[in-house]
Structure 1
Amino acid sequence: MSFLPTGTVYGVLLNFRAELEALAPQMSQPPYKAAPKAPVLYVKTANTWSPHGCAVTVPAGVPAIEVGATVAMVIGADGDVEGFVPMNDLSIPHASFFRPPVKYKCVDGFLGIGPAMRDAQEVADPAEFRLEVRINGALRQSVDFSQLVRNASQLLADVTEFMTLAHGDVLMLGCDAGRPLARPGDRIEVAAPGFETLSNTLVGEGA
């Protein structure tokens, strides 16, 4: 049976250096006038969850969607990390990074979830994770988790300073800059050494 979360799934913005650097000029302008001091979180609601192998429907009138390949931490009973799972945090392209609009991020089916959780005891250092995104078999993005602003342990510590994560909650490590676009009919694969490959196919609404 495919892995599915039993708690809340949280995404994290601006946790890759390249994305943070690209948006730095905007952060100095109103209304914020500075980079965020704490992790910027959003929720991927349960309606977005698409198990490995499922088709994901692209809404009518949307020509392409953004692929957000990442790895997520699965929270254990003691608030520690029980395991890791690859995810594909899909969204309709949009300009707002400070307050991600629900209508772009929480579309039905817009979170591909890896087929299996990798036990945390098997992972020496999450900074060694390397993801490859392939669309229709062609390599479109490589993601290096040594480039995180907050590594996995620091991210977890900073988040739990202001909120409690329950057993079964899931916290993504973030999505890197340069996220590729995919279109109806495309097959997206997110692969990484030590993980089972996550695959979903996009279909157009009404197809």
Structure 2
Amino acid sequence: MTNTTPVNSKLVCVALNDKAQLAALEATFNQAPYNKPPTQPVLYYKPRNTWSSHGAEVEWARDFDGNPVPEMVVGASLGVVIGKTTCRVSPQEALSYVDGYTVVADYSLPEQNYYRPDIKGKCLDTSAPVGPQITPAANITNPDALSVSIAVNGAVKSVFELSQMQRSVAELISTISYIMTLQPGEIIAVGFAGDRVPVAKGDKVETSIEGVGTLTNTLGGA
């Protein structure tokens, strides 16, 4: 295992990859402005200012007037760490481009609208811890069989079985590789539970994937 923060250049996150969330939003997506459910993966970036690591404090967000925001939430995902240049690969060969797996946490403002990218809510400083290490791909037989959990102050608040993702890990790598070339060290966060977990100032949050690791962070004050 490599005990470093494994981010290089891009951290690409996949939204709306929870089957239950998509089912709950079906009626909404069939109305304006969407008019139909998404037919391709819904992606967003966590830019460099958001990157953080295991054990680090996550800053509590402030509004445009400098006041602490009333609410923040967290989601957690399996992070797929790319091992070699990946461009236009098939689902059948996609997993051979993976160096390893890690845990990605995404702290953000609550999100209600998926029509436009939520730059304000997703680009908060220190809001994307990654770690605690890279687990080699050879150690994970089937990434789609893993389970992602979130505990706040020791109490489990969310469990997301990756078997419930709309699109598999291999399918996502393939599709994204047709949108953009992926380089070694870059990460895809393949899917989050639709219901994000509310957090409060001072909370200790543990995001865990058995066989991959437990990423621990605390929420700062503001």
Q: Does the alignment reach a TM-score above 0.5?
A: yes
Residue pair 1:58, 1:204 contacting (<8 A) in 2 also:
yes
Worse-superposed segment, 150-159 or 95-104? 95-104
Is 71-80 or 138-147 further displaced after alignment? 71-80
Q: Does 1:53 align with 2:70?
A: no
Equivalent of residue 75 in structure 1, options 60, 78, 82:
82
**What's 1:93 paired with?**
110
> What is the Cα deviation at residue 163 of structure 1?
2.1
**CA offsets 1:85-105 (integer angstroms, 9 cap, x no match):** 111111111212232311110
The residue that corresponds to 2:4 in the other structure is 2
The question of 1:187 aligning with 2:204 is answered yes
Query: 2 CA distance for matches of 1:95 and 1:192?
Result: 27
What is the distance in 2 between the residues matched to 1:167 and 1:81? 9
Q: Deviations over 1:164-190 (max 9, x none)?
A: 212222111111122210010100001
Alignment of 1:169-184 (within 5 A): 169-184=186-201
TM-score (norm 1): 0.94
CA distance in 1, matches of 2:176, 2:8: 19
Letter in 1 for 2:10: T
Structure-2 separation of matches of 1:163 and 1:57: 30
- Among 53, 57, 62, the alignment partner of 2:69 is 62
User: For structure 1, which segment, 5-14 or 54-63, has the greater mean C-alpha deviation from structure 2 after superposition?
Assistant: 54-63
- Is 2:156 the counterpart of 1:139? yes
Could you tell me which residue of structure 2 aligns to residue 37 of structure 1? 39
Say which is worse superposed, 48-57 or 30-39, in terms of deviation: 30-39
Counterpart CA distance in 2 for 1:124 and 1:74 is: 15
> Tell me, which stretches of 5 or more residues in structure 1 are unaligned?
none
| Equivalent residues of 1:11, 1:44 under 8 A apart | yes
Structure 1 position 153 matched with structure 2 position 160: no
Match of 2:29 in 1: 27
Do the aligned partners of 2:85 and 2:182 also contact (CA within 8 Å) in 1?
A: no
Tell me by how many angstroms 1:78 deviates: 4.0
The one-letter code of the counterpart of 1:97 is: Y
Query: Following the alignment from structure 2 to structure 1, what is the Cα–Cα distance between the partners of residues 5 and 211?
Result: 16
Does 2:128 match 1:126? no
Amino acid at match of 1:137: G
> AA paired with 2:111?
H
Distance 2:17 2:45 in 1: 16
Distance 1:99 1:89 in 2: 18
- Structure 2: gaps spanning 5 or more residues: 62-66, 87-96
Provide the TM-score with structure 2 as the length reference.
0.88
The residue identity in structure 1 corresponding to 2:22 is L
How many Å separate the matches in 1 of 2:34 and 2:148? 32
